Amino acid sequence: MNGATQLAMDSLVNILISLGSIVFCWWILMGIRWDVLIRPNQVMQARLLIVVISIVLGHGLASFVIDYLGWSRLVGTLLQ
């Protein structure tokens, strides 16, 4: 593969990892009983809070996974 194709593939993988991490964190947060923590009649704010927390946690998880993949690739090239 040439450089442009490799860059495009890496970008696509990073996007998919980021979106997958956000969805994964959202799924985990759905297990929390938010009705205990949120005031009555504040449903919209509670949903937005869950979305924002999912994005923040998902971004952190995705950054870790993407960094780990990059470091693993570097170790592989150093050992050759």
pLDDT for res 78: 79
pLDDT for res 17: 97
Q: Is the pTM of this model over 0.75?
A: yes
Quickly count: other Cβ atoms within 10 Å of residue 66's Cβ: 16
CA-based nearest residue to 27, from 60, 62, 57? 57
pLDDT for res 16: 97
Distance, C-alpha 42 to centroid of its chain = 26
For the segment 41-73, what is each residue's pLDDT rounded down to a tens digit?
888 898 999 999 999 999 999 999 999 999 998
